[in-house]
Structure 1
Amino acid sequence: MATERLPRYVNPRKMADGKRGYYWARPAWAKPPAERHGKTCPVVSSTLGTDLATAITRANAINEAFDQWRKGEGAKLTPGTVRWLFDWYRKLERFTALRHNTRAGYKLAMEQVCAIEMRSGTLGQRRAPAIDATAADSLYKKAKAKHGDRQSAYMMQVCRLVWNQAARHHKQTGVKENPFAGMGIQSSSGAGRGNRAATRAEYDLYRATARAMGKQSMATAAAICFEACQRVYDAFGFEDPDKRVSRGVTWGGYVPAERIGLIQSKTGNVVDIPLVDGVGEDRVELYPELEAELARMERGADDALIVRDERTGKPYTPTYQVQLHRRIRKAAGLPDDLKFTSFRHGGITEIGDSGTDDVRAVSGHSTLEVTRIYNKANQEKARRIASRRREHIELVAAGAVANQGDDDAEG
């Protein structure tokens, strides 16, 4: 019998029952901790069965996954596979027009989907048109077991977006149906493990600890996120990698005891938030905690960012900001799950607890039209939001004092 031509790394073996079987053996140089392009090899040595045709099919799928790992972005993609479909989607304008962080989250989810292990090879080597609803449900279970509820939901949502577009262009992609539609997965706000709201007590302790450590800028950034409900990258002025929008709160937009201009980086617009309400005896300070932190800062030029690294006088880098936040959190004895994003979440939650459902005038969740009339209406709404929030804060504080008094009396 002529010797069969076997794919790379495939060895014939005699089975216990005397039959000939086939085995794909990962080369020794590719075993972990060996890496290519920052990743360990996603495939392992595998049995391929005794049927030659089936063994060759499985081996080719494994070799394709192996080559993708070895060559990285330069590996040739097989048309019609899941990895090819993701690459096709990433070339569409609807993907390239997304913000940097969103694109990065999508790409991570796609890589995680492609890396899901199958009986032979990985999902990235499977034909995209062949995936049906049953397969999608099975993939979701595997993703949940490895990546948790939130990230696995995000992965399936990204697949739903991709397959939806693929079905619209079925002549090009071969995909006619979307197996990821109707899975009943609750919406996720993005990649990652989620976020919780910081309490005002945690926020107060964090700021006090940051000040004690000589990091006033971190206390001020926390106040901008918690009190003014700004996103972390807006509070710190992290540069947009795509350079499409401006970020950061500058000194020129801050008039003490009057207003502060905040960047809504979703639009690039600056919205003036009133800091007081009323006049004379009826005057109420709406953000005393925020203004107290700003007053501790050395005021810079009008175009200078308010939050800057004390060591250099320059804007924070995202990496150092995360490291410093961890140090402050640990020094304060605060829980590990308190992220910097928790401050914004806590501020928005506090507004909701005060009885205000629509926080867009402060938080910038939605796009704002650039008109003076709309901005005036927005400022008035922001003033009402802050007034009700301030009443809520004082009511909660008064209740806490009353409860302490009752405890002391009982004692």
Structure 2
Amino acid sequence: MLRMPAYVQARKLAGGAISYYWVRPKWASPPAMRHDRMCPVVSTALGADPAAAIPRADALNAAFKEWRLGAGRTELVPGSVRWLFDWYRKSERYTTKAWKTRKGYKVAMDGVEAMAMKIGIFGDRQAGAIDAPAADKLYARARAKHGERQGSYMMQVCRLVWNQAMRPGYSKATGVKANPFSGMGIKSTSGTGNRAATRAEYDAYRATARAMGKQSMATAAAICFEGCQRVYDAFGFEDPDKKVRGVMWRDYRPGERISLIQSKTGNLVKIPLVDSIDGEAVVLYPDLEEELGRMVRREDGGLIGEAYDVDYMAKLHRRIRKKAGLPSDLRFTGFRHGGITEIGDAGEDDVRAVSGHKTLDITAIYNKASEAKGRRIALKRREHVALITAGDTVEGDENEP
């Protein structure tokens, strides 16, 4: 019987053929860390040919062992891809970015390093010798292994690194003279993987959360959907860069206004909760105020809601979503997306007064086509056509042809 490398499984396919897979052990799955790194090696299909599967599995095992033991991390070969990534992470271009951005970049770099080649892994290749065809092949493999969104993001990070490495004054040290990741047709990832929640889904989610005794989750959903807050601001997740996060009781005046700080932009957004129409007070955000009214107000004016950590919040969200019978692609970030989209559907293109975005261009990803917008556009167009048609009427001789 053929002896395969560690972590390789043989599986029988529907037609009876055998295919091989390198399967990462569960204990190594994120957020597991070794030597300040999440495991860069993921479960990978090796194909049906044992002769081709074995060397690929050996390369994956070598990368997995290196992550587990931390072996060789201090012995970087100058000019290699791994060395170049380490060089970039020490630069001001990287260190001055927000913690969340740095984390995303590092995960992308680790994934690129660990990509298995015919011989060895991509991180061992000389960065300056990589050409456009090699970059295109890497992109195809990254999409196949990590999906379209993450694969595209990995290439975007590579493009940033190579752009910095080839600049005058740096290229002599890095050995990079050109950027093989430029002009490769990377698909934009903006907004992908995060669909907007509908108001019906939002209502069902809140009702289920309340029924399960998780009022904080219902209130956080309202803060995201009605107040268009980011998830980490709604829950006040701890920020390694020490940015102020969270919605505070001291900033909420019932029946008057609520003030929200967008930690990403630093913008302070003051949202009025009532308006006066023909002398009568109109509540602008009844669902948000109802959820806040169900909470016990802290006397110290601190954080609204429970100080959940990210993992526990994610688990609670899945439980509530399943209990409510909502689709599996409903992410908590979808509530903010849904709220901003709803504003756009109502006919308001500039959502910055609520969302806290710095520029109008960024909000364009929420301004999507819909049937409601199509009907509204058609009605306004007919009004315009009727107006210009009336203006074109010529008063002349009634017998004039």
TM-score (normalizing by structure 2): 0.73
Aligned partner of 2:177 in structure 1 is: 176
1:134 Cα deviation after fit: 1.1
Q: Secondary structure at the match of 1:273?
A: strand
Change (3 A) 1:164 1:229: same
- For 1:362, give the aligned amino acid: V
Change (3 A) 1:339 1:27: closer
Q: Secondary structure at the match of 2:228?
A: coil
Q: 1:300-359: CA deviations, max 9, x gaps?
A: 125311112xxxxxx111111111111111111111111110100110111111112221
- For 1:165, give the aligned amino acid: Q
1:294-333 matches, within 5 Å, as 294-308=292-306, 315-333=307-325
- For 1:306, give the aligned amino acid: I
Q: 1:334-388: CA deviations, max 9, x gaps?
A: 11111110100110111111112221221122279xxxxxxxxxxxxxxxxxxxx
C-alpha contact (below 8 Å) 2:265/2:357 kept by paired residues: no
Aligned partner of 1:289 in structure 2 is: 287
Aligned partner of 1:384 in structure 2 is: none
Aligned partner of 2:55 in structure 1 is: none
Change (3 A) 1:120 1:66: farther
Aligned partner of 2:123 in structure 1 is: 124
C-alpha contact (below 8 Å) 2:259/2:268 kept by paired residues: yes
Aligned partner of 1:79 in structure 2 is: 78
Whole-angstrom CA distance in 2 between matches of 1:282 and 1:40 = 60
Change (3 A) 1:316 1:27: closer
- For 1:344, give the aligned amino acid: R
Whole-angstrom CA distance in 2 between matches of 1:203 and 1:153 = 30
Deviates more, 1:282-291 or 1:117-126: 282-291
C-alpha contact (below 8 Å) 1:82/1:123 kept by paired residues: yes
Whole-angstrom CA distance in 2 between matches of 1:141 and 1:228 = 39
Q: 1:158-180: CA deviations, max 9, x gaps?
A: 00000000011101101011111
Aligned partner of 1:277 in structure 2 is: 275
Q: Secondary structure at the match of 1:278?
A: strand
1:128 Cα deviation after fit: 0.3
Q: Secondary structure at the match of 2:259?
A: strand
Q: 2:338 aligns with which of 323, 346, 363?
A: 346
Change (3 A) 1:205 1:186: same
Deviates more, 1:34-43 or 1:343-352: 34-43
C-alpha contact (below 8 Å) 1:247/1:265 kept by paired residues: yes
Change (3 A) 1:47 1:76: farther
Q: Secondary structure at the match of 2:268?
A: strand
Aligned partner of 1:355 in structure 2 is: 347
Q: 1:245-294: CA deviations, max 9, x gaps?
A: 10001111111111001011024343211112225634322111111111
1:236-255 matches, within 5 Å, as 236-243=235-242, 245-255=243-253
Structure 2 unaligned blocks of 5 or more: 8-22, 53-58, 361-371, 377-401
Change (3 A) 1:212 1:167: same
Q: 1:119-169: CA deviations, max 9, x gaps?
A: 100100000001111111111111111111111110010000000000111
Change (3 A) 1:329 1:279: same
Whole-angstrom CA distance in 1 between matches of 2:71 and 2:224 = 39
Change (3 A) 1:197 1:72: farther
Whole-angstrom CA distance in 2 between matches of 1:285 and 1:103 = 41
Whole-angstrom CA distance in 1 between matches of 2:207 and 2:51 = 60
Q: 1:88-135: CA deviations, max 9, x gaps?
A: 001111111111111111111111111111110010000000111111
Aligned partner of 1:266 in structure 2 is: 264
1:63 Cα deviation after fit: 11
Whole-angstrom CA distance in 2 between matches of 1:284 and 1:330 = 35
1:73 Cα deviation after fit: 7.2
C-alpha contact (below 8 Å) 1:136/1:179 kept by paired residues: yes
1:228 Cα deviation after fit: 0.7
1:47 Cα deviation after fit: 8.2
1:189 Cα deviation after fit: 3.5
- For 2:342, give the aligned amino acid: E
C-alpha contact (below 8 Å) 1:67/1:75 kept by paired residues: no
Q: Determine whether 1:91 maps to 2:90.
A: yes
- For 1:343, give the aligned amino acid: F
Aligned partner of 1:20 in structure 2 is: none
Identity of aligned residues (%): 64
Aligned partner of 1:387 in structure 2 is: none
Aligned partner of 2:386 in structure 1 is: none
1:186 Cα deviation after fit: 2.6
Change (3 A) 1:66 1:153: closer
Structure 1 unaligned blocks of 5 or more: 1-24, 49-60, 309-314, 369-391, 397-411
Whole-angstrom CA distance in 1 between matches of 2:221 and 2:229 = 9
Q: Secondary structure at the match of 2:222?
A: helix
Change (3 A) 1:345 1:27: closer
Deviates more, 1:178-187 or 1:148-157: 178-187
- For 1:213, give the aligned amino acid: M
Whole-angstrom CA distance in 1 between matches of 2:60 and 2:330 = 42
C-alpha contact (below 8 Å) 1:253/1:302 kept by paired residues: no
